């Protein structure tokens, strides 16, 4: 069908634009380092959340949890992936053969997720304010895009 062909062509065009940023070895290196740093920070953050609730884990558990969560959020879910993240935390400790009280893992997962949302939303509000934009400005820009 024509609509599907157009959609696929649009996705390919967008992908080509994204790949254009990888035209230099320096850009690829910086993007790779940035990605690794983000995975380390996320893994360490998950590790700290579990440790805060008395679950003894190592950084490897946090990194495994980050990988499992990255796969888990590909599954269609409720907004914010509530439920999916909690299952991913449980799977990560089971994979590492750690047997904590499941309620502690649940508490750590909720804590980690909520703190993450507060931090990201707070930074968004900060930069929105700094750019002297309002939510109405964003809505108008979104309406113009569609």
Task: Report how far residue 70's alpha carbon sits from residue 87's, in angstroms, rounded to the nearest whole number.
Answer: 12
Q: Any alpha helices (H) in the chain, and if so which ranges?
A: 2-20, 25-52, 59-72, 84-95, 102-130, 135-145
Q: What is the mean pLDDT of the chain?
A: 93
Q: Mean pLDDT over residues 93-113, rounded?
A: 95
Token pair for residue 2? 């024509």
Determine how many CB atoms are found less than 10 A away from the CB of residue 106.
15
What confidence score (pLDDT) does residue 23 get? 83
What confidence score (pLDDT) does residue 85 get? 95
Q: Is the pLDDT of residue 95 over 80?
A: yes
Token pair for residue 5? 């062909």
Q: Kindly give, in sequence order, each residue whose CB lies less than 8 Å from that of residue 104, ignoring residues fewer than 6 positions away.
A: 50, 53, 54, 55
pTM score, whole prediction: 0.77
């Amino acid at each position: 069908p024509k609509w599907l062909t157009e959609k696929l062509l649009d996705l390919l065009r967008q992908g080509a634009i994204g790949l254009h940023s990888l035209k230099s070895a320096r850009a690829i290196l910086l993007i790779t380092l940035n990605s690794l740093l983000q995975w380390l920070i996320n893994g360490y953050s998950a590790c700290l959340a579990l440790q805060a609730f008395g679950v003894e884990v190592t950084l490897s558990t946090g990194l495994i949890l980050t990988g499992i969560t990255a796969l888990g959020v590909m599954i269609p879910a409720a907004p914010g992936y509530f439920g999916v993240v909690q299952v991913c935390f449980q799977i990560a400790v089971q994979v590492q053969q750690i047997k904590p009280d499941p309620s502690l893992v649940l508490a750590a997962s909720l804590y980690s997720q909520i703190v993450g949302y507060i931090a990201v939303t707070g930074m968004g509000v900060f930069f929105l304010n700094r750019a002297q934009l309002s939510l109405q400005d964003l809505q108008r820009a979104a309406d113009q895009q569609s």
